[in-house]
Amino acid sequence: MGLRLPPVPELSEADRALWSGEAGEGPRMAMRVVLALARAVGAERLIDVTSAHVDGCLYHGEVSLDFALRLLDGGARVAVPTTLNVGAVDLLHPDLYRGDPETGRRARRLMEAYTEMGCRPTFTCAPYQVAEARPGFGEHVAWAESNAIVFANSVLGARTDRYGDFIDACAAVTGRVPDAGLHRTEARRARAVFRLEGIPDRLLDEDVLYPVLGHLVGREAGTLVPAMVGLPPGTSEDRLKALGAAAASSGAVALFHAVGVTPEAPTLEAALQGRPPERELAVTPSAVARARDELSTSAGPAITAVSLGTPHSSPAELERLAGLLDGHGVHPDVELYVSTGRGVLAEAGARGWIAALEGAGARVVVDTCTYVTPIIRRPGGTVMTNSGKWAWYAPGNLGVDVVFGSLEECVTSAIRGEVWRDRGLWAGI
């Protein structure tokens, strides 16, 4: 009985070779997954991608490792340049891992398996901070990890759908994805408009506002592509990173437009593609205050730890942190962690910032993040963070309470050993 090809989508000769198993069982399995996705979303064809970012190297149980080893043992190798998201252990500082040893061993094997498939061992949630991994405007890529997706689509203007574990690896092996979702221009149209009204100028120039805005936008937009009106021209990548990460956590945002800031939104009309929005919302001081308060689960003064670097810190963020800690030491009753990627670690080390951070008592984490794996020494307690994403996920993942604050508030609190607030920070809100 002959091998029957699926009726849709249309396949190239290379696709057919992968689907038939000519290249081995691993590539065949990968193509079968990609085709199943294409049929599920009604795509009529597959398209090439120039790169991939695999989130599936983060260990979520035995199925994570089984899937990767089946690909690897079947001869699968990545067909496009592929970066890796965080794993569950810091391979450079293995002593930081405080979980079950066997789970840690299997998590390490998972990270190794994807590296053996030809993926770059970047182990960062911020592959856009790796210069050679940044896609250009309009490039089609297959990126997983929610903040990486929203940054690629929104800030860089590349095109990726919201790919999840297993599909990301299969796209990397085949170099193909369905022509659907945010790869298509019409799906990138803004459908919800958020207008900033009455936000004080000082607050617009504070980093802490942007994860709060992201949390608000994600919660209200849901699956609609949002456009924001009123962000300052020249808003930095780090602020857009924080905004997008929070929006992708509290909602399903995979693309946002900031009018006059992001590349597909020179005007609101361009972001809307000439059509009216389905929803409009005023972002008022009271709405911002509510969103800010939702990111804390504790109002008390006690903290056991401070966690920074979610998403992974950029060189500029590490330089700023080192400056804030200069001449100070972390309080002995508080742990201070900052997460970053290997590439940024190397640059920051060469500039002396890592030595300065460690000298002040901070612990630098790479390859993973403190909200996804047991690293914080004292379980439970209250952790302070400047990350909307960390504040959203950590209570459920770690069983901790969270206090949200600015970077300056977090650092001063780590030095003092209790929560410190800048009373003028939210003036007018």
CA distances from 172 to 49, 60, 144, 184 (A): 8, 20, 11, 20
Q: pLDDT tens-digit profile of 181-229?
A: 999 999 999 999 999 999 999 999 999 999 999 999 999 999 999 999 9
Q: Which helix (H) or strand (E) holds 195?
A: strand 192-196
User: For residue 207, is it left (φ>0), alpha (ψ between -120 and 50) or beta?
Assistant: alpha
Count CB atoms within 10 A of the CB of residue 248: 27
Average of per-residue pLDDT values in the chain: 96
Identify the sign of the CA torsion 72, 84, 366, 243. negative
Query: What CATH number was assigned to the domain covering residues 13-185?
Result: 3.30.499.10
CA–CA gap between residue 355 and residue 418 (Å, rounded): 25
Three-state secondary-structure class, residue 176: strand
Beta strand ranges found along 274-334 (DSSP E):
279-283, 305-313
User: How is domain 305-416 classified at the CATH fold level?
Assistant: Aconitase; domain 3 (3.30.499)
Three-state secondary-structure class, residue 123: coil
Mean pLDDT of 330-334: 98
What is the structure's pLDDT at 1?
42
Mean pLDDT of 361-374: 97
Q: pLDDT tens-digit profile of 253-277?
A: 999 999 999 999 999 999 999 999 9
CA–CA gap between residue 363 and residue 365 (Å, rounded): 6
Q: pLDDT tens-digit profile of 18-39?
A: 999 999 999 999 999 999 999 9
Q: How many residues does the chain have?
A: 429
What is the structure's pLDDT at 3?
55
CA–CA gap between residue 423 and residue 220 (Å, rounded): 28
Confidence of residue 359 (pLDDT cuts 50, 70, 90): very high
